[in-house]
Structure 1
Amino acid sequence: MKLSSKALLALAISSITATAYAEPVSQDFVPTTLAGTSAQSEAKGFIEDFSLGGTTRNWYSHESKYRGGTFEYKKHGQTLTDRNRTNWVQGTIINASSGFTQGTVGVKTELAVYNALVLDRSKRDIKGGSNRTLADSDGDAVGQWSKLGLANVQFRVSNTTLTAGRQNFSSGIVDTIGNRALPSSFEGVSFNSEEFSNLSFQGGVFDRVSPRSEQSLSKFRSEYGNGAETDKVSTLGLNYQPLKSLKVSVFGANVKDFWNQYYFGATHELGDAQQLALTTGFNYYKTVDEGKKEMGEIDNDTFSLSLGLAHQAHSLTFSYQQVNGNEYFDYLHETNGIYLANSLTSDFNGPNEKSFQVAYAINMAEYGVPGLKFNIYSARGWDIDGTHYTGNNGRAKFAYDGIQKQDGEKHQEYGIGGSYAIQSGPLKATTVRATYVEHRGSEFQSDGSIKEFRLVTTVPFNIL
């Protein structure tokens, strides 16, 4: 990692921090003690704590490529092109969850059925579906389909839970992603231990992923690779709160024959939002090749540093991000395992890329409209340089093919959004969010030039 950029940002943070004269967020040290209560001792019973509910989400997206970019689709055996793509899907989750049985070892089961109903089935509109609409080999939409999104059994002793089966998991490297009509999930075994007051441990071994827009389980792939698969992902880490104002996460993961990846994240809060509050976030990833090196040779250090200023309803955030490596900063496909500040429509993760983002948000609750929020941002990336990439390891099909063309590439992204959460009544917690994003890339920048409008409505419901 190049320390010069980090040092400059640290100086900027130090100078602004001195102006925060109100400090109601305690900076006190938090001692590590055993948890005061046992979650298992409060178990209500397998049937007694049973719940049945879920969510339904209406997910609409319209994309337009420009500067010569097009989408492809097949019709009557011919490959046709068009600059627009539309996807419209209704995704519904019905989740049945028991309570934990009573006793020293509690047992619980969770079952969730995922269903997708495609509202726009035009082959020309969906353009093969990608990871938005499930399509068959001819490019026709699968109009309605279902699958088991979650199916697991959980065992709990005190405050430690072991989960086996299809499940959600959340960490800086392996994380369920839910930005489509339906979320992803993972098949494997994991644990979560919260035996201490301010220190928890997490880990898991997974062999399959249930993708957002597919019916079957799949092996893991990388987000930016070219097809290589692996059937074992192991991860272990901890979350720690040494100060009342400071939270830290440390995780490592072995992706068999791909890479070893290590993550460190920290968030610090200072001040009072009614006057001036500061939130500093730092995220760092180290990735090195492993085993058979199916993704080629990798030695990558990537970090982001963000500074957020908040005053009453308003917040302003500045984020700097840098990739140090001759390949993309990569992560697992169908996961949200990228906690970098400038991961937007573009991940701003090109080889040796530097990027900067300015974002503004307003919470209208301060003006008498709780649940209504707006945001706007602008991000730029520059100095993308893949000309020194040599890590194909003789496996050009599986490496980052074409990255060598990226010589001084740059791009920019703008976005604006608004959301509203209903505060009361039968539709309480229903959210509606609309976003518009425009991304413009230079000739060989990987994301191209595209505009997208999304409208997403999510309605939670309880049956029992």
Structure 2
Amino acid sequence: MKLSSKALLALAISSITATAYAETQSQDFVPTTLAATSAQSEAKGFVEDFSLGGTTRNWYSHESKYRGGTFAYKKHGQTLTDRNRTNWVQGTILNASSGFTQGTVGVKTEVAVYNALVLDRSKRDIKGGSNRTLADSNGDAVDQWSKLGLANVQFRVSNTTLTAGRQNFSSGIIDTIGNRALPSSFQGVSFNSEEFSNLSFQGGVFDRVSPRSEQSLSKFRSEYTNSAKVETDKVYTLGANYQPFKSLKTSFFGANVKDFWNQYYFGATHELGDSQELALTTGFNYYKTVDEGKKLMGDIDNDTYSLSFGLTHQAHSLTFAYQAVNGNEYFDYLHETNGIYLANSLTSDFNGPNEKSFQVAYAINMAEYGVPGLKFNAYSARGWGIDGTHYTGNRGVVGKGYDGIQSQDGEKHQEYGIGASYAVQSGPLKATAIRATYVEHRGSEFQSDGSIKEFRLVTTIPFNIL
């Protein structure tokens, strides 16, 4: 499951969180005007606004494959297998951030040290670590490691900020992903401009990604490539967020991933009604992907979209989401990013060639019953019609593009999940979040995700030093 703060905005109700509104959502038109205030004019100073803090996250996961599936690991030169994999890591972020200097052009710096402490170091348990626990070439856990997760300098004029260095970035195509003990980040140059009341612009060029469970920087590769050697070191992106009505938010982004693809994203969410009576939230997300340059991922021509409808009544929300992939290859996105804002991106992305999927989700917010911060959710999703038999994008070269999906003929799968979360509302542990989830996924013979069960328990504690 891949969610970040801006992904929640794009997915809206399809992210399975209950949203409450105090009054009927206005449908009024929002005129575009210059921003009422300048953020830079309110700068407090480089030292005066300095902050030091961060988060520590205890991340535990236990997985079990079934229906013949196994995990593999090596011991004394032999490859051994069993059904289970366990990863348990404590990830801590210490972030030092200055304020912006005063004047027409403000300057700010941000540095964050990421540290991982492995709590389960059994080679048999971690099974090579995957993207969960950092392991060496022998499959042994690296007991403790650190890196610079963020290291950047920012320049601001009025409400426009230019950031250079290692940084977070969030859009429908390239987005920091934070669903492990530590998040990813990107190296490059970006800007964010909010000079208008309801219209903002974002863009950037990135050449490296700092993966969630690795110490070094890496070139970019695709999430669904069948060769880790297919990489690119240039990603260009540009887009805008626009709110034409108080009830309607839209987002459009384009990206050029050098020698991979050009990708375009459009997202919209619309809110109607009053959740104390009945509110309807509609979410739409669309991606267009076409091959580019040297076509290192093979021929690509893919249209993918999701449409969701969420009904909210007081504490309760019910969501229905439909998703479709129109293309003979996977709907793909960049590895170590959250660049998939589709409603049915869950443990499985439900993004196989020509796949259709449908999800039903229910959530309850216990604040309505006197327990603020406590939420429960459950969902069921099914995918069908997965057909890769018409794929020719590898041009007959074994190992190129998405070679291997030709065996997917009428594949199907289903996923069920339940979750509970609690956020501390006050006191010294305020904003501490505890989240427990159980997911079961079952796939047909050649469906790429297989059959697996996972229990995950994550506790995140924020802290402030200065």
TM range (shorter): over 0.9
Contact 1:17 1:278 in 2 (8 A): no
Contact 1:20 1:271 in 2 (8 A): no
Q: Deviations over 1:363-422 (max 9, x none)?
A: 000000000000000000000000000000354323112100000000000000000001
Distance 1:58 1:84 in 2: 20
Q: Deviations over 1:196-229 (max 9, x none)?
A: 0000000000000000000000000100012350
Distance 2:276 2:370 in 1: 16
Task: Identify if the C-alpha distance between structure 1 residues 15 and 184 changes in structure 2 by more than 3 Å, giving closer, same or farther.
Answer: closer
Contact 1:168 1:186 in 2 (8 A): yes
Q: What is the match of residue 36 of structure 2?
A: 36
SS of equivalent residue, structure 2 residue 411: strand
Task: Identify if the C-alpha distance between structure 1 residues 333 and 8 changes in structure 2 by more than 3 Å, giving closer, same or farther.
Answer: closer
Large movers: runs of 4+ above 6 Å: 1-23
Unaligned runs of 5+ in 2: none
Distance 1:372 1:8 in 2: 18
Distance 1:330 1:86 in 2: 27
SS of equivalent residue, structure 2 residue 7: helix
The alignment yields a C-alpha RMSD, in angstroms, of: 4.7
Distance 2:43 2:232 in 1: 38
Task: Identify if the C-alpha distance between structure 1 residues 16 and 347 changes in structure 2 by more than 3 Å, giving closer, same or farther.
Answer: closer
Q: What is the match of residue 417 of structure 1?
A: 419
Alpha-carbon distance, 1:17 to partner: 20
Task: Identify if the C-alpha distance between structure 1 residues 155 and 4 changes in structure 2 by more than 3 Å, giving closer, same or farther.
Answer: closer
Distance 2:266 2:21 in 1: 29
Task: Identify if the C-alpha distance between structure 1 residues 434 and 2 changes in structure 2 by more than 3 Å, giving closer, same or farther.
Answer: closer
Task: Identify if the C-alpha distance between structure 1 residues 184 and 88 changes in structure 2 by more than 3 Å, giving closer, same or farther.
Answer: same
Distance 1:430 1:182 in 2: 16
Contact 1:23 1:270 in 2 (8 A): no
Task: Identify if the C-alpha distance between structure 1 residues 11 and 284 changes in structure 2 by more than 3 Å, giving closer, same or farther.
Answer: closer
Task: Identify if the C-alpha distance between structure 1 residues 250 and 460 changes in structure 2 by more than 3 Å, giving closer, same or farther.
Answer: same
Task: Identify if the C-alpha distance between structure 1 residues 364 and 9 changes in structure 2 by more than 3 Å, giving closer, same or farther.
Answer: closer
SS of equivalent residue, structure 1 residue 145: strand
Alpha-carbon distance, 1:12 to partner: 19
Q: Deviations over 1:403-449 (max 9, x none)?
A: 00000000000000000001111000001000000000000000000
Task: Identify if the C-alpha distance between structure 1 residues 449 and 77 changes in structure 2 by more than 3 Å, giving closer, same or farther.
Answer: same
Alpha-carbon distance, 1:24 to partner: 1.8
Distance 1:13 1:51 in 2: 34
Structure 2-normalised TM-score? 0.95
Q: Deviations over 1:258-298 (max 9, x none)?
A: 00000000000000000000000000000000000000000
Q: Deviations over 1:18-37 (max 9, x none)?
A: 99999821111100000010
SS of equivalent residue, structure 1 residue 173: coil
Distance 1:153 1:27 in 2: 40
Task: Identify if the C-alpha distance between structure 1 residues 4 and 330 changes in structure 2 by more than 3 Å, giving closer, same or farther.
Answer: closer
Distance 2:107 2:216 in 1: 27
Contact 1:296 1:395 in 2 (8 A): no
Task: Identify if the C-alpha distance between structure 1 residues 15 and 140 changes in structure 2 by more than 3 Å, giving closer, same or farther.
Answer: closer
Contact 1:413 1:440 in 2 (8 A): yes
Structure 1-normalised TM-score? 0.95
**Map of 1:32-431 to 2, 5 A cutoff?**
32-227=32-227, 229-431=231-433
Distance 1:36 1:364 in 2: 37
SS of equivalent residue, structure 2 residue 16: helix
Alpha-carbon distance, 1:152 to partner: 0.0
Distance 1:9 1:449 in 2: 31
Contact 2:7 2:341 in 1 (8 A): no
Alpha-carbon distance, 1:2 to partner: 26
Distance 2:24 2:292 in 1: 46
Contact 1:293 1:393 in 2 (8 A): no
Contact 2:60 2:89 in 1 (8 A): yes
Distance 1:252 1:151 in 2: 26
Contact 1:22 1:276 in 2 (8 A): no
Distance 1:457 1:11 in 2: 24
Alpha-carbon distance, 1:4 to partner: 32
Distance 2:328 2:106 in 1: 49
| Deviates most, 28-37 or 2-11 | 2-11
Percent of paired sites with the same residue = 91
Contact 1:40 1:158 in 2 (8 A): yes
Q: Deviations over 1:278-320 (max 9, x none)?
A: 0000000000000000000000000000000000000000000
Q: Deviations over 1:53-77 (max 9, x none)?
A: 0000000000000000000000000
Distance 2:156 2:11 in 1: 46
Distance 1:172 1:328 in 2: 17
SS of equivalent residue, structure 2 residue 237: strand
Higher RCO (CA-CA < 8 Å; seq separation 6+): 2
